[in-house]
Each structure stands twice: as C-alpha cells, then as structure tokens.
Amino acid sequence: MIDRKTRTVRKTIEKQTIDADVCVVGAGAAGIMAALTSARLGRRTVLLEAMPTLGGQLVGTLLGTICGLYSNGPRPRRVTFGAVDEMLHYLDAAKALHARRALNSLVLQYDETICGRWAEEASSNSTVEVVLGAVLREVRMDGRQVTSLHVATRWGDLEVRCKGVVDASGDATVAWHAGLEVREATTPHWGTQMVTIENFDQRAVAEFDGFHVAQVLKEKRSQYGLAREDGFIFAFPGRNVATVNLTHMPNPTDPIGSSRAALEGRDQADRILTFLRTELPSMRDARIRAYGLPGIRQTRWFVSAHQLSIEEVRSGKRPEDAVARCSWPVEAHDTAEGVSWETFDGDDHMHYVPLRSMVHRDADNLIAAGRCIDGDTAALASVRVMGPCFAMGQAAAHALDIRGDRSLHDIDLPGFSARLKPNLEEFRKDPWTEDLREDEIVRERADAHV
Ligand SMILES: Cc1cc2nc3c(=O)[nH]c(=O)nc-3n(C[C@H](O)[C@H](O)[C@H](O)COP(=O)(O)OP(=O)(O)OC[C@H]3O[C@@H](n4cnc5c(N)ncnc54)[C@H](O)[C@@H]3O)c2cc1C
C-alpha cells in the first residue's frame, strides 16, 4: 500500500522578494519583446503577468491578424525585426502563418495557440524570470525612481526590487499604482469580444470573407439586438476556422463594470452567431469554437514627456528619437455602431513612435511600451497595433539598458538610435509573402473600406 504521509501547516511566508535590473509588467506583444530583449542584453529581467498564461491580447484575445508589420504599396516589406523574426519563423514552420492584403498593406493571420507556445518556449529558453498570475497592486517610488513593485498571486505576495520598469500592461497600471498622472478618454473607446468559429462551408468562404459581411449586418443588426454594424470575418485557409470581429462592448476600468462588460460581450458574440447562421447559407451549421478574452483597445495611458499627435502621424516626419514605425491606418472604435478609418494611401507613407512618448513625464526609470504610451486618441488608434508594439517593447529594453545611472529623459540618443537601426530603416521581404497573388491585390483595393 502507498504510504501517503501528511502534515498540517499554517501560513508562514509573508512574501517572496526578488531583485532585478528590469521588471516588465504585462506579457502581451510589447512586454514579451521587452523581456526577451532585456534578458538578451544581459539584464536580470522579471516578467510579471496577471493572467496564468503569456501573450496578452496577442494570444488570449483571438485577434487573428498581426497588423502594422509591413509597409504600404503593391509589394509591402516588413519593417520590424528582432525577436519578431523568431516568432514568425516559428509560426511559419508550424504552417500557422498566412499573409493577406489589407488596406494597402499586408497583415499576417496566425494561430494564437502556436504563438502562445512560442512565447512560452522563448521565455523558458531565456533568463527571463516569469511570474504568472501576478497582479500588480502597489508601486513604491523614491523621488522620481520606481524602486519596487508589489504583486499578489494565488500562492502569495511577491516584491520585485528593480532599477528600471517597463509598463507593458496596456492600462498604464504601473504609473497608476505609483500615483502618477495617467490619461483616460472622456468618451467611450469600444472593445470587442472576438470569437473563433468552425464548422462552416469552406467552399463558400468568399461569401463572408473580408468586409462583405458588414453589408448584411448594416441592414439587419437591430433585428438581432447587435450594437455594431461593421467589422469582418477572416477565414484561415486550410485550418477550417475563421476569426470573427463584429461586436462592440465598453471597456470600463472598475472591477464590477469591467466584469459586466465582459459578460455583455459574450452575449453579443452569441447574437452574432445567430445572425450568421440565419443570414449566410454557408454558416448554417457554424459553431463558436472559442471565445477570446475581452478585447480592450484603450483604457488608461501615460502622461509622457511628449504626446504623439495625429498631425505627426499624418505627416510621417521621423523624429530624432524615433523607436518604432508603421503605416497602419487610424482605426477608431469610437462609436458603438462602427469604426472610422483614416488610411494613408501613399505607398511611401510611414509614421513613427518617439521615445519621449514612452517615458513617463514624472519618473526617470519608468517607460511604457505598447498601447499605453502617450498619444492623442487618433494617433493611438494607429500605433497600438501589434507591429509597433513589438518594436516599442524592444526599444524600451534598450533604453533601460543604455541609460546607466542617467534619467530615461537624458539617454545617449545617437547610441540608442544606432541599436534600433533595423526597426527604423530596413525593409525586408518575407518568404510567406511570396505567393500573394495579383488578383488578391486588385480585390483588396476594390473593397478595402468598410
Ligand atoms: C478586439 C481587438 C482586435 C484587435 N485586432 C488587432 C489585429 O487584428 N491586429 C493587430 O495588430 N492589433 C489588433 N488589435 C490591437 C492590439 O491587439 C493591441 O493594441 C496590442 O495587442 C496591445 O499589446 P500590449 O502588449 O500593449 O497590451 P496587451 O496585449 O493588452 O498586454 C497587456 C498585458 O498586461 C497584463 N496586465 C494588465 N494589468 C496588469 C496588472 N495590474 N498586473 C499584471 N499584469 C497586468 C495583461 O494581463 C496583459 O497580458 C486589436 C485589439 C482589440 C481589442
């Protein structure tokens, strides 16, 4: 017989403590890249993530496409590199990557589960100390320096003492808990409950592919109790699944309101399924295979040394302290009914994120990366897509690495920019874009706009 010995215990350890050079809060597109880059620069790096998995919205929200990674024009080239290369090659090797034309550029459809495994393997193969299920709830500062972060996990509390912090939480949670000023919109920015569907007629994909479904939705949404009247469905070729982005739900920032909104989003997603099954013959037997985590576009963000403006985005002028670039349109989800787009049709258009929009105005060692950098709401509605988020994550790690004892407001700019040269100046063609057909380009030009 197995001897199952037991003992009785009581709570003893109050909290664990860990020292780090860099602490990254949030393991989404920006945080993953920040943590990997920082560790590869030889910095002791801790990555704190509230969810029990890595990947943030890149993995958990079922977004389906990576935008903002390519230039505009008939033959788009990739503009962000670094650890992104490893992620894309990993996805390509697993046949989990598909390039398609969109809005005068190119987006990459990808499988989130495989992308999540890449993030886990890449972290495990690095020196990054990952702490999952770690919700930040207190930040201590000494003057303009963040000195320690305090998180709760289901297994107890943890204190991270660190020299520099990347706020990649999407919600400026580090600045918020430090008591620093943050911005929030006074009018709603709508989030989306994404779903993956299966069991539809693959032969009829053209019936709903791209933006076509929006035309039907516009006429019939009120019949189905739906808020939004535009959006799209993207089928992933050969995988028998499609990504559905057709709902809008609010993104409140209080505990009860955000939970209610999450449930409201699920209800909207179910209504979308009913709509699709009823209105599109190819969808008669469709099912929801997975509901993503609530999709959050904009909540709170930094008050930085400089606020990126829509005029800067439109002008495409490269600032001296540029860290990331993209050509993605302004995609403003500012009404419950739909999205307003501002496209940059010029094939050479490219706009930039400056370092000054990432560094908090009132701290010397706190930098944002991803969707909570400082910009006006229109500028953020472009640069928050994942391409520039990847590049911002890398840049945040380099900024903390190069600063030494100086303030992030006063780093060696030429040295910093030299490190980021590929993400600011190079253009590369990828093998997975080779088979994009000319007729896809023509079709996309014809029906790109919602
Ligand atoms: C519905 C929807 C569809 C979109 N579609 C696309 C698309 O097709 N292509 C594209 O490129 N972009 C798309 N975007 C935009 C893009 O997804 C995001 O802007 C981008 O993923 C942001 O990355 P991030 O790393 O800044 O933040 P996130 O991915 O949000 O990651 C932030 C992480 O921080 C963690 N965190 C937050 N608070 C705490 C805390 N207190 N303690 C610890 N951890 C915390 C969160 O759990 C999360 O994992 C979409 C966005 C939405 C909402």
Name the band, by pLDDT with cuts 50, 70 and 90, for residue 443: very low
Q: What is the CATH T-level fold of the domain 16-186+298-450, as seen in this structure?
A: FAD/NAD(P)-binding domain (3.50.50)
| Atom 35 of ligand 1: nearest residue by CA position | 26
Ligand 1 contact via 389 beta carbon (within 6 Å): yes
| Ligand 1 centroid distance, CA of 80 (Å) | 18
Q: How confident is the model at residue 14 (pLDDT cuts 50, 70, 90)?
A: confident
**For a pocket test of ligand 1, which of 63, 232, 233 has the largest count of ligand atoms closer than 8 A to its C-beta?**
63
pLDDT at res. 307: 98
Lowest mean pLDDT among 72-76, 237-241, 302-306: 237-241
In whole angstroms, what is the distance from residue 116 CA to residue 94 CA? Answer: 13
Q: Average pLDDT of 32-46?
A: 98
Task: Ligand 1, residue 192: give the atom nearest the CA.
Answer: 1
pLDDT by residue (tens digit) across 327-386?
Answer: 999 999 999 988 889 998 788 899 999 999 999 999 999 999 999 999 999 999 999 999
Confidence of residue 114 (pLDDT cuts 50, 70, 90): very high
Domain borders along the chain are: 16-186+298-450, 195-296
149 vs 47: CA distance, rounded Å: 12
| E strand spans, 189-286 | 195-198, 232-236, 241-245
pLDDT at 190 over 80: yes
Find, among 43, 54, 48, 44, the residue nearest to 16 by Cα. 48
Q: 250: closest CA among 292, 337, 192?
A: 192
Minimal-distance CA residue to ligand 1 atom 8: 65
Per residue in 215-272, pLDDT (tens digit) is 788 889 899 999 898 888 888 888 889 999 989 999 999 999 999 999 999 999 999 9
pLDDT beyond 90 at 13: no
Q: What separation in Å is there between the alpha carbon of 298 and the centre of ligand 1?
A: 9
Q: Is the CB of 65 under 6 A from ligand 1?
A: yes
Amino acid identity of 72?
A: N
- What is the percentage of the chain residues whose pLDDT exceeds 70? 95
Determine whether the shortest distance from the Cβ of 329 to ligand 1 is under 6 A. Answer: no
Burial, 218: exposed, middle or buried (Cβ in 10 Å; 0-12, 13-18, 19+)? Answer: middle
Element (H, E) at 213: helix 212-220
The structure tokens listed for 123 are 């972290």
pLDDT confidence bin for 441, thresholds 50/70/90: very low
Atom of ligand 1 nearest to the CA of 297: 53
Instruction: Answer for the pair 317, 284: CB distance below 8 angstroms, yes or no.
Output: no
**According to the model, what pLDDT value does residue 209 have?**
57
Q: Is residue 169 packed enough to be buried (19+ CB in 10 Å), middle (13-18) or exposed (0-12)?
A: buried
Return the higher-pLDDT residue of 303 and 10.
Answer: 303
